[in-house]
A and B are shown apart, each in its own frame.
Chain A
Amino acid sequence: MIRRRALLQRAIALGLISPLTACDFDDPAHPDLADKFLSAMSRWNDMVQAALFNPHTLAPSFRPDQITRPPRFNAFYDISQAPVVSPASWRLALSGQIADQRPWRLDELQALPQQSQITQLTCVEGWRTIGQWAGVRLSEFLRRVGADLTCRYVGFHCADGYYTSIDMASALHPQTILALSFLGAPLTPPFGAPLRLRIPTKLGFKNPKSLVALSVTNIYPGGYWEDQGYNWFSGS
């Protein structure tokens, strides 16, 4: 009797778990019960991370001799397919809750005050790489173009079709920069030329490369990986 009850309980437990773990996030347009559960927990983890976020806590800095050489390339495609953008014709388009939406040229961004950092880029896969990036503080840029800093999101689009978005508090963090250079030289195509976001308080995939458009909005913009199931906030 006891054995039968134990077996039955085990069967029910297995029956509950197995559909949950069958195949998750395989079809984002048609979420099953497990996908809905995982998405709800991911939204909860977004809220917890936003509450944990301290705008004064800095990501650790490293010495020049700790820089990873050669630098590690990473994208959802091979290094040979990295987009090559002509610096002369390149523009950064602005949209959303921004007062001055005039597109920005590269030399205009180069003329702004630059900040350098040697920080760790932590990949969602678990590895990390240390590099030196320099560029314009995103908070400085957003103020300059008259962005509404009470908006919830800053969204980014890239030359390769990649897109992502971050919360405004992280966007205004002092170490969040629009990077123009990497390892002391202008960005090269595999590492995000001509302009990329460098945000050491978030995981690597929240550091979009080869930016072509920036928007400030209250409408959730999602992201390439986020829409497939990665946690949106993904703060470090």
Chain B
Amino acid sequence: MAHKPIHPWPLRLLHALNALAIIMMIGSGWQIYNASPLFGFTFPETITIGQWLGAAIAWHLAFMWLLVLNGLCYVLWSLASGHWRKFLPLTPRLVWQDFKAALSFRLAHETGAYNAVQRLFYVGVLLAGLVLVISGLGIWKPVQLWFFCDLCGGFVVARYVHFFAMSVVVLFLAVHLALVIAVPKVLPPMIFGGRAP
């Protein structure tokens, strides 16, 4: 009889496609930002995707479909499979306990289960993704999709909302990748499935 994987194949596939979409969206988004910077800096051209604004927008508006459709598939699969239960319970007290434990290196890695800090991170990045999609649609179509634009405080404010939500995702990625480097054994199961204990 086959072993139960740590990460079932739909999750691995969704994760891989999401990683591709996120890289393409952030890289092309930085190039778009450079055309009209909100702050006193631009992103180095070597780490942006699309060599000029027209190409960057084309990449951004092509991969937004992968990001959104893949995200919808993730939500549906989470609801259908019960995956969403892994994010609960999530209370400030639990987060604080696990956060203190992590800082003192007393927080054990439990294969296939999320501690409260992880739950907060994953729920947080999912919310940031939702904000990115809503503000992005508002910036793309401020007239036809005016409700998304208004929800973000209008066109000018929506660009800042989009930027800060991107920053949250980039911060998440930094922690996410740092933890994979710190605990490398978590990487193969995300590619090959692994075996649940």
Contact A124 B58 (CB under 8 A): no
The 8 closest A-B pairs by CB, nearest first: A24-B55, A41-B62, A126-B36, A229-B54, A125-B35, A38-B58, A236-B143, A125-B36
Q: Which residue of B lies closest to A202 (CB)?
A: B143
Q: Which residues of the other chain, A, contact B32 by a CB distance below 8 angstroms?
A: 126
> Quick one: given A25-B55, A231-B58, are A122 and B192 in contact (CB under 8 Å)?
no
**Contact mask B29-56 → A, CB, 8 Å, 1/0?**
0001101100000000000011111110
Contact A41 B61 (CB under 8 A): yes
Q: Which residue of A lies closest to B191 (CB)?
A: A6
Q: Is B188 an interface residue (CB 8 A)?
A: yes
Contact A53 B51 (CB under 8 A): no
Most chain-A Cβ atoms within 10 A of its Cβ — which of B23, B141, B143? Answer: B143
Q: Which residues of the other chain, A, contact B146 by a CB distance below 8 angstroms?
A: 57, 60
Complex-state Cα separation, A177 to B62, whole angstroms = 31
Q: Is B142 an interface residue (CB 8 A)?
A: yes
Contacting residue for A126 out of B50, B52, B55, B159, CB 8 A: B159
Q: Which of A1-44 contact B (CB under 8 A)?
A: 2, 5-6, 9, 13, 17, 21, 23-26, 37-38, 41-42, 44
Given contacts A60-B142, A229-B55, 6 further A-B contacts (CB under 8 A): A26-B51, A54-B144, A127-B36, A235-B143, A236-B141, A236-B143
Q: Which of A204-227 contact B (CB under 8 A)?
A: 225
Q: Which residue of B lies closest to A230 (CB)?
A: B54
Contacting residue for B141 out of A2, A52, A225, A229, CB 8 A: A52
Contact A120 B61 (CB under 8 A): no
Q: Which residues of the other chain, B, contact A59 by a CB distance below 8 angstroms?
A: 143
Q: Which residues of the other chain, A, contact B141 by a CB distance below 8 angstroms?
A: 49, 52, 235-236
Q: Which residue of B lies closest to A10 (CB)?
A: B191
Q: Which of A28-77 contact B (CB under 8 A)?
A: 37-38, 41-42, 44-45, 49, 52-54, 57-60
Q: Closest approach, in angstroms, between the C-beta of B39 and any C-beta of chain A?
A: 13
| Interface size band for A | 35 or more
Q: Closest approach, in angstroms, between the C-beta of B18 and any C-beta of chain A?
A: 14
| Interface size band for B | 20 to 34
Q: Which residues of the other chain, A, contact B65 by a CB distance below 8 angstroms?
A: 41, 44
Q: Closest approach, in angstroms, between the C-beta of A18 and any C-beta of chain B?
A: 10
Q: Closest approach, in angstroms, between the C-beta of B138 and any C-beta of chain A?
A: 11
> Quick one: given A9-B191, A126-B32, are A236 and B142 in contact (CB under 8 Å)?
yes
Contact B155 A52 (CB under 8 A): no
Contact A24 B62 (CB under 8 A): no
Q: Is A128 an interface residue (CB 8 A)?
A: yes
Q: Is A155 an interface residue (CB 8 A)?
A: no
Q: Is A228 an interface residue (CB 8 A)?
A: yes
Contact A122 B142 (CB under 8 A): yes
Q: Is A123 an interface residue (CB 8 A)?
A: yes
Q: Is A200 an interface residue (CB 8 A)?
A: yes
Q: Is B59 an interface residue (CB 8 A)?
A: yes
Q: Which residues of the other chain, A, contact B53 by a CB distance below 8 angstroms?
A: 124-125
Complex-state Cα separation, A213 to B47, whole angstroms = 42
Q: Is B107 an interface residue (CB 8 A)?
A: no
Q: Which residues of the other chain, A, contact B143 by a CB distance below 8 angstroms?
A: 57-60, 200-201, 235-236
Contacting residue for B144 out of A5, A231, A236, CB 8 A: A236
Q: Closest approach, in angstroms, between the C-beta of B144 and any C-beta of chain A?
A: 5
Contact B36 A24 (CB under 8 A): no
Contact B191 A231 (CB under 8 A): no
Q: Which residues of the other chain, A, contact B58 by a CB distance below 8 angstroms?
A: 24-25, 38, 41-42, 229, 231
Q: Which residues of the other chain, A, contact B20 by a CB distance below 8 angstroms?
A: 13, 17
Q: Is B145 an interface residue (CB 8 A)?
A: yes
Complex-state Cα separation, A23 to B65, whole angstroms = 22
